[in-house]
Structure formats: structure tokens, C-alpha cells
Amino acid sequence: MPSSSQSQQRRRRRPTCTCSRLIAVLAFLLLSHAPSLSFAVDRSKFRTCAQTSFCRRHRNGHSASLYRYKLTEWKFHEYKKTSAAQGTSAAAAGEEEVKADGTDAHQQQKQQQQQSEAGADPDAADAGTGTGTGGGLWNSVVSRVLGKSAPGDRSGGGPLDPYVRGPAASLTATLINTSPTTSTGVGESLNLDVRLHSDGVARVRITERYGTSASAYESARWTSDELILNEEEMVGADDAEIVTSTARPTSRDGDDEQSDNGNNNNNNNIKQKQEDDKALLTELVGTVFTATPDQPQADLDNYVALRYGGADHVLLLRLEPFSFYLFRRGGSGAGESSYGMPIVTVGERGLAHFELRRARDDDSSAGADADATNTDDGENSDAVLMDDDDYIPPDDDDDEEEREAAAASGGEEGDKHGGKEIVGYWEDGLAIYADGTREERPVEDEAEAEHRKLLEEQSPDLDREGLWEESFGGHTDSKPYGPTSVGMDIKFPGSSHLYGLPEHASSTVLQTTHGAGAKYHDPYRLYNLDVFEYELDETMALYGEVPLVISHSVAGGTAGIFWFNPTETFVDVYGPDDDGGIGDAAGHGTTTHFMSESGIVDLFLLPGPDPHTIYAQYGRLTGRVSLPPMFSLGYHQCRWNYRDEPDVYAVHAKFEELDYPYDVLWLDIEHTDGKRYFTWDSNVFPNPVAMQQKLDSQGRRMVTIVDPHIKRDNNYYIHKEATAKGLYVKDKSGTKDYDGWCWPGSSSYLDFTANKVRSWWADQFAYDRYRGSTPALFTWNDMNEPSVFNGPEVSMQKDLRNLAGVEHREWHNLYGLLFHRSTASGLIRRNPDKNIRPFVLSRSFFAGSQRYGAIWTGDNAAEWSHLEAAAPMLLSLNVGALSFVGADVGGFFGDPDAELMTRWMQAGAYTPFFRGHAHHDSKRREPWMFGDETMIRLRKAAMARYALLPFWYSTFREAGVTGMPVMRTMWMEYPQTEPLFAIDDQYLIGSDLLVKPITAPGVTQTTVLFPTADRWYDVDTMAIVSKEGESNGVLSITVDSDIDKIPVYQKGGSIIARKLRLRRSARLMKSDPYTLYIALDGENKAKGSLYMDDEETFSHEHDGEYGVAEFSVSLGGNDGLIENKVALGPGWEDERAKDSLLA
């Protein structure tokens, strides 16, 4: 149980009061002695699906009847082998265009261009914008600066989408909503394009039509390609070909000059091509078509396919009803030469939806659709056109709602605060009053609960709430574009194990959320939030998100999807037996249903076929983990807060005295001058430079916290300059700087979506700007979801605007990543040669955060259940390609006893990021605080970590090259061993160490599942524990695991390098010798590698200054062979350079 002050003062820091009166000070004193509360999230602060209009509207197929799509007027763009750079237009790139009717699109180019410019031709090709000359950057500049598209690339009759990056489109088309009753009440059409990558990835984008006389808006929906995607490595497939059931020309130029024989050959080629295409379509369609009495056979004309990647991959599109299927040669149930069942099916259940932007009252902005889309009372037609008699209004008091809304913004006396003066807010969003009391947690009214249940259960044609504005927790979200949700169902045939969608405090395997017997009632929510006192075994949102799902099965191998949409998203998981009533032919499999509040449908299909390949594919999309500096892989000692310089020196000296290894000492926000970041409280840290230099001289670094909220104080140089330069996020009008509440009190928030803001922020880390900083000081980014204590769900209002006028709802989940990225850039930029690797820890994240530093799991508790949850959470993050991750050792809240602290230190030593941290109300818990016996155990765990630093460093290097996670689920290395697929209480570090943390009290023995494809050695004794057996088998063995032992095993056939000299930091180990631990396999062979560089600069990337040693051992009879082959980078081929760097 938490202490009284801990539970009332909330998660991390005492609230800041801007009122100078004594009564406000008394308020804090009174609250510090309030009754204690147990650890439990205040659920009233965070929305569920049932409280979220777009999720309620589209979940369970409620809106399916409003969205029935047909793909039409498709056009194929065939790259010639000598194609120009990606991103150019079809004609400029030397493409051949084939239309749906098989004719040459270039023959009608002039006519199409005229129609396109008139806004009448939905067929005009969008060849995409990408890398290379004439590509995305140039087109983007033209479009944004001149307000028109660059020549050649148009989409659906409108201008170029200025945001898309990467390979050009291989197929463009129009999607028509054929439902007799659409969500807008009028006809709806969308643009679709398919972009194929050379590694087998397929990207399908569905966007609004814009910039034409038939559309209401002149601009595309904002998307974030250039902020997230790894454009340099996204290479288009130059061998894509169209597969249809009808003949089409295969050559164009010079036809008139061909001989009769040539024409005959060409005709024969066309005939053979048609026969081959028909045979392929017959094979593919046969796996997905379900016969009915009305249609006993499939109509091949209703399908078109794209074959690419050396013919190893096929994307099959069904025209009506629209759906698509990804096939991989040798897929589920197939031989090596055929495709078998699809590995991913999309849209099969008919759950696709795309709500178009629309104008509510302004006819002038609604274009040609204005009259049709607005009802007589000015309210836009919502789910379907209906009679008012059908509408069930909520049982609430509108006047009371208005009063509550006014109260949230400091309104009238009769508000929910009872007229009390608000002097601050807790992190959970509850107000602090000047009289020393605090706002109570609200209790949901029974009538409201009943109404919410009704909304969840009733059909969407009765649910008009939340279309044009939505209220929650006293906050109202205006929606100037109306409902803009998008969604899609995605199935993995033959698979019963899905992984991904971090971050949630739940198992690594995704559990069902839909249907009878579902594990969870609510879908997984992806919306970055500061969730105070989060609970375990939940689908509710936490600090970050990666919308990546990986499927794995024995028959189908590994496949995945990346739902590239950073808006609030809910994901339902349907079990293999929950077919949604459609009885699809693609067989049993697990289905996900993605529902996002806004954005576009931008879906990357990752074909695998194995874990290593799929992470290489994903790495080319979002980047791979950056190699961290060696010191950051050591132990980090943190607390909120080390009080002053004497406290820092005392802690450091005790580590020195006990020969206890550590590398970094951390300072929380109390080190600052009144929560003004980049400053120091001179009363307690008068000589920060000398302090850092002292620790640096003994091989240690320091970290200080820098959060994104900026204190609104005109005497604070950061705020003064940011205001003058106009760098803050704006209110919903787009004119005033947003004012929210966080640790400093009244705060503003920088707009990190803007490049100029990111660059300005990076400049603040310069040594002459951040006074008191040195090269030995690194950074911790917290509260970057962003956290706003008095905002909805403890975050920003969704209708705030960035500097480009884009609403916060569109980029909310990117904020933490962009802040993290900007900070990392600042730590690089502050050094003249920009050659020192940064270290930045972030709480919030998105896809691609692996490129910028470490992530931790937030504010856990000193409880056995949180230790048990740590491994599944960290594995889930690694499934999302976030490798440099950890959980606070000992738990942030509360006070661990000696046993829990020991077990957590042992477990933490075998996780990628290794930090101990504690709340300011927790007892001091430095390793020596638990007595000598426990200190020795804790030191032993830390020493094991330091001995393995060469192995950790080499594994991170592998992750940076291949994309494979550092901390791996068992199935990643044993993809054919099904008993391991759901295991998340043991895991692998790289491929060679198996770890089984002890997560319960009083344990002296535990059970480990050993893959029998390999033998396993105990790392402490190097005794064989498990020998080889069946190639895909598992052996369950009970092993000893008393308080001095964490079960860790080295795989037979591996060689792991260690450093065994006891040192007090990683830097002091730099020149120490290596010791090789050789674990022979059943054939008395082993191999391994060791990566080496200077451990702190970018010279390994910039100058090729590195070396890789490849070890191999083969013993037989009375002789054997031991080899060490060293490959040096070009910068280390000069031995003198290598020797000087290692000295």
C-alpha cells in the first residue's frame, strides 16, 4: 500500500502553485496528510470505446451497411527495367500504363489531362512522390509554396498529395461507396493507390478526393510520411506486373515496323500470357471465393492481381465488394512453387469505412455537396438519413452540461468546483483549491451509465452523439470537419497468435476483445496518455503506441501489418472461431479491426516469411535501433529526487566504496529553478559543472530531466524566446498560444511537428545556452504524451492547432517521438564535430522511436505483480521494434522489501535498459539500504550485467543492422516450435541467452521450457542442463532458483564474449581483455561474433572505424580447430588508428 503522502501527492512531483498567498501553501500541507488511497487508475479520467463516438459508431459492424465499396477505373503503371528514379510521374519514369479495359492509357493522355484539370477524371494516375530527382521533396515544395501540384502527378483528378513519400504507385483506382444510404447522404468516392516495394512489402493508401469541383476541400488530409518513414530505404519493385483475366497489349513502341513473324510471336506471347494469368487468378481466387446458391462460381473479371518481387508475392484485389489479399509463394498450405492460402486478407468482413470531411453550416466551404450534405436545421446528416422520431436523446440536462463545460474553463460560481478558487492541478487532472481541499474523483451517474450502455448497444442510425462535437470529463471537443474516422478489418488466415500493438499492461500475445468468451470487453486502445497508477491486464492506453501487428503460425510463417495512422485508434481482436457471420473461404484465422478517429487508410503489408525477414522489412520502413553509447548499457541510479550536491556526492562515494558498478546518476525535476528546464536551482546545485566533472573523472555520467511543457514566465528565457518566435501549439482558433497546466503550473507546449521548432529546441542544448551542462550530461524526456494536468484525459484538447493549422487529433501520438527526436538532435548538435552519440530516455513513443534512444514502461509499482508484468510488456515493445527498453527496477511507487528488490535487480540486469528509480515518498533504496547480505546479491546481479556488456553491445549492433529485436520472444528464434508461441515469462537476449526471471516471493525452484533443437548450459556453472532432442520439441525442466540464482542459459553452439575484471563503470572496462565462453553443440561445434568500436562516437558509421571478430570452434577426436577471423572497417584498416582509439 502507498503511504498517505504518496497517494495524495500523486505520481511523481508535488503540484506547483502559482498563488503566493499563505492559504495556498497550507493547502499542500493539509493534503500531504490526507487519508491514503490504494493503487488504482482513476478510470473516470480516461475514455473507453463506449464513451468514444467514432469507436461506438463503427464497432461490431454497426456501420457496415453504410460503406460498401467497389474498386473501379483502375490503372496499372508498369515500370520499365530502365525506369527513372522513384517518385516521378508515370510518363516521365518511362512507365507503361494499362487501364482496366486493357487499353493503353497513354493514347488518351491529352484528353485525360484536360479532364483531370477540369476535375472530371477520377482515373488520372497518381504515380506517387518519393526519393530521387523529381521526387517527393520537390513536388512537396511546389505544392505547398505555389498551391498546386507538380507536373505529372495527380490523384483522382485532384492535385498531388503533398505528404506521401516513397515508391511510386503501381496501381491507382477509384473506390466508390455503392451503399444506398451513405454516411453523408450522398454519393461518396475515394482515391486508392498501391505501392509495391522490392522486398515484398505492399502499401495500400486510401485517401479523400480533394482539389476538384466535386470535393468539398482543396487540401489533402495531413499525414506524416516525412516525419516517420525511412524513405531512403523504401525501394520500389521494378518487376511488378498486372494479372487479369483479359488480354492486353504487351508492347507499344515500333509496332508498325514489326514483321509478320514478329506480330505472330507477339500474339502468341499475348495468348500465353493470358492463359498463365487466368491460371494464376483461378488458383488465387479459388482460395478466397465462397460459393453461394446465387453464385456457384467465381467471376474472374471481378479480380485483378499484382505480381512482384521475383513473382514471390501477389496482391489480389477483389473489385466488388472491395477487398484484397496478400499471397506469398510457399505460403500456408502451399508447396514452394505455389501460393496456397493468403497470409493477410483485408476488407473481407466488410468493416471498411472512411468518413469524409464535410462542412457543418458553411455552404460556401462545402462545394457542390453542401446542399446535399446538410439537413434543414443546419446539422450534417450523420449515420443515415432518418426520421427524428427514431432518435433517442440522452437522459441529461443540457443546462447542467453547459455549466460543467464552463467550469472546466474557470466558469460560473455554480460549477462543479462549488465556486472554490483553483490554485493548481494534480497529475490525475483533479483540481487543488485555495482552502486546502482537493476535487474529489467523480462518480458516474447511474443515468449516464445507463445511457452510455444504450449507446454502445443500439444501432448507429440512433447514435447521433459526437458527430460535430463531443464532451468528456467537462471538456468539449469541437469538430469543424465533422466525423472523419477510418477503419478496416484485417485477417491473418490460419493464425491464432498475434503480437504487437504496444503499449499495454497485458500479455505479449494479443487477446480477444470481441465475441463470446473474449478475454477483454474493450478493444485495445492506442492513444498516448499519462495514466496515473496504471492497472495490469488491461487494454487501456498507456504512454506510447506502435500500430504494428505481427502474426505467426507454423504453417503460414510470419506476416504483419503496419497501420500507419497516428490518430486515436481502437483495435478489436476476433478469435479464430469468430468469423463475424461471413463464413469466408480463407479459413480460420485471427482478425483485427482497426478504427481510427481521423487520418487516412495507410496500410503496409509485411509478407515475412520469417521473423528475421519481417523485421528487416519493417526496419526499411521506420528505421532500426541506433547503436547506443556503451555507458548507457550499464546500470543507472535514479530517484525523485537527489536533494543537492552533497547528496549526489554521497551516493556516488558509496558506490565507489562498495565497488558497486554503475554508470549514470540521474536528477529529476527538483534540480531546476522552479521547474524551468535548462536551469539549475542554485541553492542546492550551485556548482553543476564541477559536480559533473567530478563524476566524469571517475567514469560516470549524469542525466537531467527536460520535459516539453514550458513555464509561462516572461522572465524565463526559453518561454520568452519561444513566444517571440511563435513556436507554441495554438488554441483551437489557431491564434493564441495554448495554456495548459503541468509541473511548473501554467505552461505552453512547443509544436514539434514543425521543423523550425525542432531545430530551435535542439539549439537549446548548446553549452552556452544550457548553462551548467557539460559533455558528460545527457537527457531524460518525460511527460511527453503530452501530459496536461487540466486537459481532457490529462492531455491536450484534440481541436488545438499546430503552426500549420492541423488539429492536434491528427498528430497526437507523434508528439512524444518528435520531442525525443529533437532532444537527441540537440545532444548531437551541441558538440562541434557532432560526432558524439546521444543518450535520451523517453516515456512516450511511436513507430520509429527506436532511432532516437531508450524507452521505459513508466510509473510501475513495487509489487510482485508489476515485476511479473515487466517481461511481457518489454517483449511487446520489442515486437514493435523498440529494443532499448526497460522497467524501473524496484518499482516506482512504494517500498520493495529485500526479496523483491533482489529479484527485480536480477531481472533488470537481463533487460536492455537497466535503471533503478523511485518516487520521492518511497524510502531510500540505493543497494546498500537493504543490508550487507542483500547488497552483495544486488552487486552480483549488476556484475553479471557488466561482464556481459560486450555481448549486449554486439547484440545491439546486430539489431541496428538487421532490425531484429534485442530482447526476443521465444518463437522469434524457434518459429516451428508451437508450444513456445504464447510464452512471455521467459525470453531470449539475441539468439544465445535464455532468461527466466523469478517474479514471485519465496521461490526456490522454477520451470523452464527448453527448445530441444539446441542444448543449453547454465551460465554460472556452464553445466549442460538440457540436451538436443526433437527439432521442434520443448523440454520442461524444473531448475533451482533460490534467492541467489536467476535462471539464465547459454545456447549450445554459441560463443559469447565477456569481460571479467571487476570495474566500477563501463568506461573503465574499455581496455580490458575479453574472455570467450564456448558452449559446444551436439557436434562439438560453436560460433559467435564480437563487435568493437570506440563505444561513444559515430565514427563507426561516418569513418568505418570498427571491427567484427567471428569466432568458430570445431572439436573432434584428439584434435580440433579454433578460428578468429577479424574484419575491420575501412577506418580501422590502419592499425595505428585502431590502437589509438582502443587505448
CA distances from 1122 to 543, 603, 1060 (A): 48, 49, 21
Q: Which amino acid is at 322?
A: F
Provide the 3-class DSSP secondary structure of residue 186.
coil
Instruction: Using CB atoms within 10 Å of the CB of residue 565, give its burial: 0 to 12 exposed, 13 to 18 middle, 19+ buried.
Output: buried
As a whole number of angstroms, the distance between CA 906 and CA 942 comes to 8
Q: Going along 454-563, which residue ranges are E strands?
A: 469-472, 475-478, 486-493, 498-500, 524-526, 548-553, 557-563
Distance CA 572, CA 567 (A): 16
How far apart are alpha carbons 241 and 314 in whole angstroms?
Answer: 10
Active site residues: 782, 785, 859
Specify whether the CB–CB gap between 874 and 881 falls below 8 A.
no
Burial class (CB in 10 A: 0-12, 13-18, 19+), 914: buried
Whats the size of the chain, residue-wise? 1143
Q: How far apart are the first and last CA of the chain?
A: 51
- Yes or no: say if 1072 and 1061 are a contact pair by the CB < 8 Å rule: yes
827-851 b/e with 16+ CB inside 10 Å = b?
A: bbbbeeeeeebbbbbbbbbbbbbbb
Cell of 600: 487516412
H helices present in 644-700, as ranges: 645-657, 688-697
- Rounded to the nearest 10 degrees, the angle between the axes of helix 815-829 and helix 755-763 is 40
647: Cα separation from own chain's centroid: 38
- Concatenated DSSP letters of 619-639: HHHH--PPPPPGGGGSEEE--
Place of cell 572496462: 1069
Q: DSSP letter for 838, please.
A: P
> Residues 674, 683: contact at Cβ < 8 Å?
no
Burial 931-947 (b: 16+ CB within 10 A, else e): eeebbebbbebbbbbbb
Q: Per the omega criterion (within 30 degrees of 0), is the bond before 503 cis? A: yes
What's phi and psi for 122, nearest 5 deg?
Answer: -75, 0
- CA dist 446 and 464 (Å) reads 21
547 SS3 class? coil
120 φ/ψ angles, rounded to the nearest 5 degrees: -110, -10
d(CA 201, CA 254) in angstroms, rounded, equals: 35
Secondary structure of residue 1030 in the 3-state scheme: coil
- For residue 902, give the nearest of 869, 933, 947 by alpha carbon: 933
450 grid coordinates: 445507463
Q: Distance between CA 710 and CA 716 in Å, rounded? A: 9
Whole-number Å distance between alpha carbons of 662 and 675 = 27
User: Whose CA is closest to 316, among 176, 475, 171?
Assistant: 171
The Cβ of residue 232 has, within 10 Å, a number of other Cβ atoms equal to 10
Which residues, other chains included, contact 703 with Cβ-Cβ below 8 Å and sequence gap of 6+? 636, 638, 664, 665, 666, 667, 777, 778, 779, 780, 839, 841
3-class SS of residue 1016: strand
Side chain identity, residue 782: D
Gyration radius (Cα) of the chain, Å: 30
Q: How many CB atoms lie within 10 A of CB 471?
A: 17
